[in-house]
Amino acid sequence: MAERLGLFGGTFDPIHVGHLVTAVNVRHALALDRVLLVVANDPWQKAALPVSRAADRLAMVEAAVADVEGLEASALEIDRGGVSYTADTLTELGDQRPDAELFVILGSDAAATLDTWERVDEVCSRATLVVVTRPGVGSLAAPPRWDHLVVEVPRLEVSSTDLRARVVDGRPLDWLVTDPVVRLIRTLGLYHEPQMSSQRSATP
Q: What is the pLDDT of residues 9-48, one digit of tens each?
A: 999 999 999 999 999 999 999 999 999 999 999 887 665 5
> Which of residues 110 and 38 earns the better pLDDT score?
38
Q: Cα Rg for the chain, rounded, in angstroms?
A: 16
Q: Per the omega criterion (within 30 degrees of 0), is the bond before 143 cis?
A: no
Backbone angles phi, psi at 88, to 5 degrees: -65, -40
Q: What is the pLDDT of residues 90-102, one digit of tens each?
A: 999 999 999 999 9
pLDDT higher than 50, residue 120: yes
CA distance 15 to 89: 20
Backbone angles phi, psi at 8, to 5 degrees: -120, 95
CA distances from 4 to 39, 101, 124, 137 (A): 20, 5, 16, 28
All structural domains of the chain with their residue ranges: 4-195
The mean pLDDT value of the chain amounts to 88
Dmax (CA) of the chain: 50
Q: 40: exposed, middle or buried (C-beta count within 10 Å: 0-12, 13-18, 19+)?
A: buried
Q: Which helix (H) or strand (E) holds 188?
A: helix 179-188
What CATH number has the domain spanning 4-195? 3.40.50.620
Q: What is the pLDDT of residues 48-68, one digit of tens each?
A: 578 899 999 999 999 999 999
CA distance 25 to 90: 22
- In this prediction the pTM is 0.88
Question: CA 44, 49, 53: angle at the middle one, nearest 5?
Answer: 80
Q: Is 29 helix (H, G, I), strand (E, B) or coil?
A: helix
Buried residues in 82-97 as b, exposed as e (16+ CB within 10 A): ebbbbbbbbeebeeee
C-alpha torsion 154→5→43→52, nearest 10: 70
* Encoded amino acid at 133, one letter: T
